[in-house]
Amino acid sequence: MGSLRNLAATGLALAALTTLPLPQATAAATPKVLVIGVDGLMLDRIAAADAPALDNLIATGSANKTVLYANPMAPTLSGPGWATIATGVWPDKHGVLGNTWGTTGHRLADNPDFLTRLERADRATTTYAIATWSPLVTTSAGTAIFGSEVDLRVSSGGDQATADQAAQHIRTTDADAGFLHFDDVDAAGHGCGAAGACYRTAITAVDKRIKQVLDAVAARPTRAQEDWTIIVTADHGHTDTGGHGGTSQSERSSLIISNRPATAPKNVDVAATVLARFGVPTAGLDGRPLGTASTDPFDTVTLKPAVHEAIPVLGWSDTAPNGWRIDDTGMGTGGVTEWHGWAFTNDDFWTRTEAGQNRETNVRARGVFAVADSDEWADRARTGKFTSALVSPAYDVTGRSQAAVSFSSHYRKEGTETATVSVSFDGGAARTVLTYTGDVVAKIENIAVAVPSGAKKMTVTWKLANGDNNWFWAVDAPALN
């Protein structure tokens, strides 16, 4: 159990509005982390509400809309949403696929929450989870999302009680790392929809409770010697008329607001960020610490407006990044311009082409990724078939006997099309190193490649051939290791 060193109560007056500026990390500062979960909160609805505490965090830190999976990986419900945030892995790993997950079927034992991981790394770390929704912290419905090794787990029974107990705990204990859950915004979403007045009123109410908690942070006698990371996030979004669980953009919507910078964040990054702040390894997680710089060459691509797709957001390009090329010599003619051969896109654009066809489960790609989409290309008159190759720059393999090609891959197969990865050395004949014979869902590939003696350059090619309205292949973050 973490040590609880009680701090003397002080008579400090609380500021009218807590300001937590971007932290200046120093070797002497004590790391502290607070993750605030607001059930059903949507980033684009905050501005219309009276929410000065959230507005202040957004203005002085970072705010990013994030996107979730959908069925068949998992529905956009609270159980999968909070398990993803807590464990730092996607539902295909943690196995929480609904709001009642019992004691078996899930894989929480193999993918513990970030507070449990902190405890196992150092029992002196003080951890706490205070939640309005009881399955996050109690075992009445089965295994709790936050495990029994967490120092303090409280099912508060209501949002104001969550704020009161959290503020008291933060003011009077070590409070190294914690998670809070507020539920009333979600209840309002179900009651009047995300476009309704009661939803804005609920945001205002939770904002006051967040301010109460942040004021408790500011009032700590040791605050000047502490380096606090604050993260606000959500488990899912809502439709304008109310409800969630489906595949729509609004239901898949989430957010990460933080007093730290963030680069193309995903919900799995919350756990990785908490662990990294305390120096705990994040190997095996799907997330990465907030602010991690992208090394993905596809993220350098500038996206442009739609041509044939009726999608009102920037989101596609047929211009490859520097050093890359697209070989469309085998492509048919016509079809939907955006998907004529390999193209570059993002989740917001690609998943709007048509919901419910498994594009939403491409969760291990982030930012801009490459897509060969025979299915969408075929939605306009065309001749011939879809055959297109994405070709990498020539990687230097001088003096190496082995190399590994890694990338995120999401493939749905139908019909006679083929999906292959091949390599060639110094302009020689291509050698196939991977062939897909069935669906591949959001997988990180790591292909070992033997390098011939004396070879200096290696080129990698991803090729989708003979496609005829036969689904898609998405590739991201290619690298040579």
Instruction: Name the class of domain 30-277.
Output: alpha beta
The pLDDT tens digits for 284-311 are 999 999 999 999 999 999 999 999 999 9
Give which of 190, 128, 192 is closest to 155, Cα–Cα. 128
> With contact defined as beta carbons under 8 Å apart, do 471 and 375 qualify?
yes
Question: How sure is the predictor about 425, in pLDDT bands with cuts at 50, 70 and 90?
Answer: very high
In the chain, domain spans: 30-277, 297-480
Beta bridge partners of 449: 403
pTM of the full predicted structure?
A: 0.92
Amino acid 17: pLDDT: 36
Structure tokens that stand for 133 in this block: 């929704």
Question: How sure is the predictor about 141, in pLDDT bands with cuts at 50, 70 and 90?
Answer: low
Amino acid 139: pLDDT: 74
Amino acid 3: pLDDT: 33
Instruction: Name the class of domain 297-480.
Output: mainly beta
**Of residues 4 and 457, more confidently modeled:** 457
Is beta strand 325-327 parallel, antiparallel or unpaired with respect to 316-317?
Answer: unpaired
The pLDDT tens digits for 12-66 are 222 333 444 444 444 579 999 999 999 999 999 999 999 999 999 999 999 999 9
368 DSSP 8-state letter: S
C-alpha 278/C-alpha 289 separation (Å) is: 12
Asked whether residue 120 carries a pLDDT value surpassing 60, the answer given is: yes
The pLDDT tens digits for 199-244 are 999 999 999 999 999 999 999 999 999 999 999 999 999 999 999 9
Give which of 78, 137, 135 is closest to 102, Cα–Cα. 135
